[in-house]
Amino acid sequence: MAKKKAARKKSLSADNSYKIHLLTTTAGELISGLASVAVTQFPDAHFKIVSHAMQDDIEKLSATLDKLTGENPLVLHALADEAAKLLVRNKCVVNHIPHFDVTGPLIDFFSNHVGLLPKNDASRLHQLDASYLSRIEAMEYSMEHDDSLGMDSLGEADIVIVGISRVSKSPTAMYLGSRGFKVANVSITLEAGFPVSLSKIPKRRIVAFTSQPKRLHEIRTERAKRMGSEGTSYEDLSSVIREVMEVEEEYLRRKYAIIDITNLTIEQTAARILQTLKLGQTEF
């Protein structure tokens, strides 16, 4: 009986394992993100996502399709060229592989509502690369202005994040930098106070991070253990409570927008910043 149950469990496990193949003519970050979000809603299934980026000619795409392997393959594609779409559809039908055109319904939606037919021109995708250099510049700026660096050019920042130690300033700044925003993050300590240069920055560009003291205490304690520097006021709970209270009072006095990052992911924190500062609109 036990062997039968084990065999049945193994069979179910195999049936619930899927390999998702992503086909795109670009780097595929968007379709990868969409797939990653979608699979989180099916915790009883196991998914492996395989990216096939830069499928920019028919021969390459055909060779990729011929090599698709794995149990229960699924194909998601984001291809602008109609011939490429047709190739994927035909090969998947012949090989009984479920497939979904991620861009098709969206393009049809725009076409129906703007009253224009799509060009279906794959080369136009690379017009987006005009923003690539801007994103690289923003990322470089964010790295050069990490942890209170580059204070002499603070005024060039689109966003200035201020906060005490271990409130996710750096990773949030780097993430927003990758989105094309020039971000400076400024570390605040009770001993040194707030840098004078902050007074020259418009408040509409400044956001202040805070965290619940207990959670911040846990994070700092863990870091102190890794660094071998335990037993200081840095991770002492009463000191952390005092630090958070005093810095929040100064945030309020300065009328900074405040974001409590406790239990927020980097992406959620970044979204909260863009919403708070009314940023994030892109024009084409």
Least confident of 29-33, 88-92, 154-158, 249-253: 29-33
Average pLDDT score over residue span 188-205: 96
Local confidence band at 13 (pLDDT 50, 70, 90 cut-offs): very low
Which residues make Cβ contacts (< 8 Å) with residue 208, sequence separation at least 6? 161, 162, 163, 247, 251, 256, 257, 258, 259
Between residues 37 and 21, the one the model is more confident about: 21
**pLDDT tens per residue, range 51-91:** 999 898 999 999 999 999 777 999 999 998 889 999 999 99
Token pair of 27 as six digits: 């780097």
Local confidence band at 168 (pLDDT 50, 70, 90 cut-offs): very high
The domains of the chain, with CATH numbers, are 2-120 (3.40.50.2300), 132-276 (3.40.50)
- pLDDT at residue 22 is higher than 60: yes
- pLDDT at residue 245 is higher than 60: yes
What pLDDT, on a 0 to 100 scale, did the predictor assign at position 122? 64
242, exposed or middle or buried, with CB in 10 Å at 0-12, 13-18, 19+?
middle
What pLDDT, on a 0 to 100 scale, did the predictor assign at position 184? 98
- pLDDT at residue 135 is higher than 90: no
Average pLDDT, the chain: 88
- pLDDT at residue 14 is higher than 60: no
Give yes or no for a contact between 56 and 122, defined as CB atoms under 8 angstroms apart.
yes
Helix 169-178 / helix 132-144 crossing angle, nearest 10 deg: 160
Average pLDDT score over residue span 13-18: 74
Between residues 32 and 2, the one the model is more confident about: 32
